[in-house]
Amino acid sequence: MKDTGVKLFLRAAIARAYPRIWGAHRELSWIFFEIIVPLINTSAFVFLYRALGAPEQYIGFVVLGGAMATYWLNVLWMMASQLYWDKQEGFLELFILSPVSLMAILLGMGVGGLYMSTIRAGAIAIIGTLLFNVQFNGDQWGFALLVFFVTMFALYGLGMMLSSVFLMWGREAWQVSLALTEPVFFLSGMNFPLSKLFTTVPGVVSLFSALIPVSLGLDALRQLLFPGQLQGVFSPAVELGIEAVLGIIFSVAAYLLLKRMEHLAKVEARLSLRWQ
């Protein structure tokens, strides 16, 4: 019997996640470089803070930020740009013509990417903790896990939404990905407490920062894993609520944009290039 509805959606998502999950173990050199390179950046900030005589808890903030950075890079390079690269390689036409929703395909990519990123983030967190003697507080692990998963929901929802935007931008997707990397590291407070940013920059910059899911999610995780050691932008509960709202907004926007892509491809016989 032919699969339809929810069953077809889930089977497509699983099928798309499968190669990414197993591919994460096949090229061990990728794992090595994707762990070592972020660790070098994290170590640089650790040594900088120690040279400046910053409070020791900043070391833990940097290690946690380095681990979370892997998720943003995965969303930027393997979610937001994915449909553009699929189009370049000739796969997008097959996705459009198949009876499967593009949302299912991107969901599978997101699950596979989340698995790959978690391996790398876990390795960075463990190695960084051992190297720099970081002390985490595990009293609120349950709440911290909830914040993490809701943050990933919002972050990968943003990635799905950007995948359509990047597809419409065409060849500029590569340049946009490059352009967004470092600004997001700054705006999300990857290497310093986010409250410092919010108290020193104009309000519009703070608004852009709050719209990046990893910023408030990381701030909440730091408050939960290093209790009493920093002043958060909001309480973890408020930041959790904001992340949940952002996740819903981004997911709905991604669904609407992907339906628009399918309409342009199937009804108007074109694949969403802005100058066509």
Span 195-211, pLDDT tens digits: 888 888 777 888 888 88
Give the DSSP letter string of 251-267: HHHHHHHHHHHHHHHHT
**Is 60 within 8 Å of 135 (Cβ atoms)?**
yes
Q: What share of the chain is helix, strand, coil (3-state, %, to 5)?
A: 80, 0, 20
Residue with more model confidence, 262 or 53: 53
The Cα 51–Cα 48 span in angstroms is: 5
Q: CB within 8 A of 117, min separation 6: which ones?
A: 70, 71, 73, 74
Q: CB within 8 A of 105, min separation 6: which ones?
A: 12, 13, 16, 95
Residue with more model confidence, 5 or 155: 155
- Residue 265 confidence class, pLDDT cut points 50, 70, 90: low
Q: Which of 159, 118, 88 is nearest to 21 (CA)?
A: 118
pLDDT at 149: 94
Widest distance between CA atoms in the chain: 67
Residue with more model confidence, 82 or 252: 252
Burial of 174 (0-12, 13-18, 19+ CB in 10 A): middle
Q: Which of 145, 156, 134 is nearest to 214 (CA)?
A: 156
Task: Please state the pTM of the whole predicted model.
Answer: 0.85
The Cα 220–Cα 237 span in angstroms is: 8
- Residue 172 confidence class, pLDDT cut points 50, 70, 90: low
Give the DSSP letter string of 146-203: HHHHHHHHHHHHHHHHHHHHHHHHTTHHHHHHHHHHHHHHHHTTTTS-HHHHHTTS-H
